[in-house]
Structure 1
Amino acid sequence: MLIGFLCALGAGLMWGLVFVAPLMLADYPGVVLSFGRYVGFGLIALVPAFFDRERIARLTRADWSAAFKLALVGNILYYAALATAIQLADAPLPAMLIGTLPVVISICSNWSPGHPSEAVAWKRLAPSLIIIFMGLMLVNASELRHLDGRRPLSDYALGCIITVGAVAAWTWYPIMNARHLKLHPHIRSSTWATAQGLATLPLAVIGFIGYGVYVYFSGSDYAFPLGPRPLPFIGLMLVLGLCASWLGTLLWNRASQHLPTSLAGQLIVFETLSALLYAFILRGKMPDMQILVGIALLCMGVMLGIRTFRAVRTA
C-alpha cells in the first residue's frame, strides 16, 4: 500500500500540470491543447516502445482494444473537455467540479468493484469521503472568488456542462484501467502506459488533422497547426506528453495494481492539491486560511481512507 500511495502521489503531481497549461496558452483552443498533448504523448511513447518491444509484441488484440478505448475516453475526450471548459468558464469553476472526482470515483468503484474483495462497507467508507468532500468544497469555494466575472452566463453554464462530461470520462477511465490491470497482472505498468501512448497517437493525429480541416473551411483566423506561439506550444505539449501523460500514466498504473480502486479514487485529491500548488506559484501568492483548512481536511480524509482500507485488508 505504501508503494501504491507514493505512486498515486507522483501521478497527482504530474497531472496537476494540466490545469495550468490552458492558462499559459489561453489563445489556443482546448481541442488543440488536447490533441497537441496526446500527439506529444504518442511520440514520446515510441522511445520506451522500442526498448520494451518484446512485451509490447505480447499484448493481445483484447489488450489493444482496451488501450484504444482508454486512450479515447480517458485521454482525448477528457482533456479536450477539461481544457475547453477552463477556457469557457475560467479555471476555478471547472476545477471545483473536477475536484469531486475522488469522491465520485470512490463511490462508483465501491458500488461496482472489479472484485468482491475490494468492496468496503459504506459505513466504513463514508467518513473519509465526507471529510474529503468538505475539504474540496472549502478549497473550491475559496477559489471561486478568482472568477473574473467578465464572461457571459452562457459561457459559465456551457463550461459546467462540458466539465460534467469530463468528470464522467475520468470516472470511467480509472475504474476500467484498474480492472484490466488486475485481470492481467503480467502486464507491467510501464508497458501499459506505453501501449496507451501508442494507442493515443493515431487518435490524436486524426483529431489534429480534422481540426485543421475545420479551420480551413470555417475561415477561422487560428494559425493552424502550431498557433500564434509555436515554440511555447511545442515545448509545453512535450512536457505534458512526457510528465502528465506517460509518466503520470505509468505511476497511476502502478498505484492501480497495488491499491483497491475505491482507495485509489480518493488519492486523486493529490491532483487537486498539485493543481492548487502550481496555480499559486503562477500567481506568486500564498493560499488563504480557508484553503489551508481545506487542504488539511483533504489530507485527513486521505489518511483516514488509507487506515480504513488497511484495516479491511488486514482483516
Structure 2
Amino acid sequence: MTIAHSNIIAGVTLAVVATLSWALNFIAPYVTGAYSLYDLMVLRFLIAGALGAVIMVLCSARLRCLRRKQQLLAAGLGVTGYLGYSTCIAAGVVFGGPVLTPAFIGMVPVLLAVLSNATQKTLPWRRLVLPLTLLMGGLVLTNLSSIDQPVAGQGSWLMGLIFSVCAVVLWLVFSLLNQRALEKLPANVSGVWTGLMMAGAGMGALCLLPVMQALDLLKLPVLGFGFSMAGHLYAWALGIAVMSSLVGAWAWNAASHRLPMVLSGQLIALESLFATLLGLLFHGRLPTALEAAGLAAVLAGVVMAVRIILTSIDKGVATLADAPA
C-alpha cells in the first residue's frame, strides 16, 4: 500500500468520525425538554469556547506559530462554521422536520466538488458525473418526501427551507476558507487551530447572550439552573460540544490534511445521512420509501467517489513507477 493510498484511507476514516460527530447538531431540538433551543445552544458554545481556551493554553507554543491574521481567521471560522451553521441547522430541524435540513446539507458535496474540480482539476469531469448525479438525485428524493411529512409544533416548510439554505451557504464558505487555510499550515498546528475556532464560537455566543436575554428567549433564568431541573440540558450541551465542536473539528482538520478537496467535499454527504437517521430515531419512525431511496443514493454516491479517488491515486503511482529514471 502506498503512502498516498494509506493517507486517503486514514483521511476517509477521520472524515467519517467527523461527520458522525457533527450529525449530533441535528438532534439539538429533540433533547431540550422544558428548556428552549437557545438555552442549549448557548450552553453548548460556552462550553466549547471554554474547551477551546484550554486547548490554546496547552498548545501555547504552537499558537505562537500562527500569525495574528491566521488566529483571527480561525476565530471567525468558528463563528461562521460552528455558531452560525449549528444555529441554522437546529432552526431548520425545528421548522422543517428531521429530513429537510439534512437533505439540503447534501448539496454541499455537490457544490464543493464542482468548485474544487473547477479550480484544481483533480479529476476529469466525466468521472464525477455518476457520483454527483447520485448525490443530487438523493437530495431531490428526500426533499420531495419531506414536503408532505408532518412536523411537530409550529412547523413551517418554507422557514425550514430558508434556514436550510442559510446553513448550506455558511458551511460552503467555512469549508472553502478552512481548507485553503489548512493547506498553508503545518500539520502540527491543527489542534490549536481547532481550539481557536472553538474559542471564537464561544466568544460569539457570549456576545449574543445579552441580546437573547433581552428578547426573553432563554428559559434557564425562569425554570432554574439547578441540576434537578437542568441536569439533562448540561449533559447534552457538554456531549454535543465535545463531540461536535472538539472531536468533529479535530477529525475534519486532520482529514483535510490527507484528502483532496474534491473527495473531502463528497464525504460531507455522510453528515446528511447520519443526521437523517438520528432524526428519524428521535421521531420514532422509519424512513419513507422516497427517503430511503434518497439516503441510499447519497451513500452510493459517496462510496463511488471514494473508489474513484483511490483508483486515480493507484493509477498515478503506477504511472510514476513505470516512468524511465
Asked if TM exceeds 0.5, the reply is yes
Give the superposition deviation at 1:102: 2.0
Q: Does the residue aligned with 1:25 lie in a helix, a strand or coil?
A: coil
Residue from 125, 142, 147 that aligns with 2:128: 125
Tell me, yes or no, if the aligned pair for 1:26 and 1:87 is still in contact at 8 Å: no
User: CA, structure 1 residues 308+276, in 2 after alignment: closer, same or farther (shift >3 Å)?
Assistant: same
Match of 2:62 among 50, 55, 71: 55
Unaligned runs of 5+ in 2: 1-7, 317-325
Distance in 2 (CA, whole Å) between partners of 1:151 and 1:92 is 16
Q: Give the Cα–Cα distance (whole angstroms) in 2 for the partners of residues 300 and 162 of structure 1.
A: 27
- 207 and 187 in structure 1: CA distance in 2 versus 1, 3 angstrom threshold: farther
CA deviation profile, 1:131-189 (whole Å, cap 9, x unmatched) = 1222333345445554238747xx33233122211110001111111111111134432
- 1:223 and 2:224 matched: no
Identical columns (%): 25
Distance change (3 Å), C-alpha of 1:108 and 1:25:
farther
SS in 1 for 2:215: helix
Query: Could you say which residue in structure 1 is the equivalent of 2:211?
Result: 210
Q: Deviations over 1:22-77 (max 9, x none)?
A: 12227555544433322121122233333322212322112112112211211111
- In 1, the alpha carbon distance for the partners of 2:275 and 2:232 equals 20
Alpha-carbon separation, structure 2, partners of 1:225 and 1:95: 32
**1:7-22 → structure 2 map (5 Å cutoff):** 7-22=14-29
- Quickly say closer, same or farther: Cα 1:225–1:95, change in 2 above 3 A: farther
CA distance 1:97–1:295, shift in 2 (3 Å): closer
Q: Report the secondary structure of 2:186's partner residue.
A: coil
The CA deviation at 1:288 is: 5.3
Q: Contact 2:102–2:276 at 8 Å: present in 1 too?
A: no
Question: Which segment is superposed worse, 264-273 or 23-32?
Answer: 23-32
Counterpart in 2 of 1:268? 268
Which structure has the larger Rg? Answer: 2
* Residue 251 to residue 150, structure 1, CA distance change in 2 (3 Å): closer
Distance in structure 2 (CA, Å) of the matches to 1:27 and 1:265: 37
Report the Cα offset of residue 285 of structure 1.
Answer: 5.0
Say if 1:26 and 1:104 are closer, same or farther in 2 by CA, change over 3 A.
Answer: farther
Kindly tell me: are residues 101 and 33 of structure 1, through their superposed partners in 2, closer, same or farther at Cα, counting changes over 3 Å?
A: farther
Which residue is 1:111 aligned to? Answer: 118
- Between 1:51-60 and 1:247-256, the stretch displaced more is 51-60
Q: 1:180 to 1:52 in 2, by over 3 A?
A: same
Moved more, 140-149 or 78-87: 140-149
- What is the DSSP-based 3-state SS (H/G/I as helix, E as strand, rest coil) of the residue aligned with 1:188? helix
Alignment RMSD (CA, Å): 2.6
Paired position in structure 1 for 2:75: 68
Q: Distance in 2 between matches of 1:159 and 1:295?
A: 19
Q: Match of 2:309? A: 309
Q: CA deviation at 1:262?
A: 1.8
Q: Is 1:189–1:251's contact at 8 Å kept on the other side of the alignment?
A: no
* Residues 121 and 28 of structure 1, relative CA distance in 2, 3 Å threshold: farther
Note closer, same or farther for the CA distance 1:105–1:34 as it changes in structure 2 (3 Å cut).
Answer: farther
Any conservation in 2 of the 1:42–1:198 contact (CA below 8 Å)? Answer: yes
| 2:188 is equivalent to residue 181 of structure 1 | no
Q: 1:208 to 1:55 in 2, by over 3 A?
A: same
Contact 2:99–2:276 (CA under 8 A) maintained in structure 1 = no
The aligned runs of 1:1-315 (5 Å cut-off) are 1-25=8-32, 28-112=35-119, 116=120, 119-148=122-151, 151=154, 155-215=156-216, 222-225=218-221, 230-287=230-287, 290-313=290-313, 314-315=315-316
* Segment of structure 1 superposing worse, 132-141 or 302-311: 132-141
Tell whether the 8 Å contact from 2:270 to 2:299 is kept in structure 1 after alignment.
Answer: no
How many angstroms does 1:190 deviate by?
2.1
Query: What's the TM-score once normalised by structure 2's chain length?
Result: 0.83
* Closer, same or farther: CA 79–138 of 1 in aligned 2, 3 Å: same
- Equivalent AA in structure 2 for residue 49 of structure 1: M
Alpha carbons 1:95, 1:140 under 8 Å: kept: no
2-side partners of 1:274 and 1:199: how far apart? 26
The verdict on how the C-alpha distance between 1:299 and 1:161 changes in structure 2, with shifts beyond 3 A counting, is closer
Q: Does structure 1 conserve the Cα–Cα contact (< 8 Å) formed by 2:35 and 2:219?
A: no
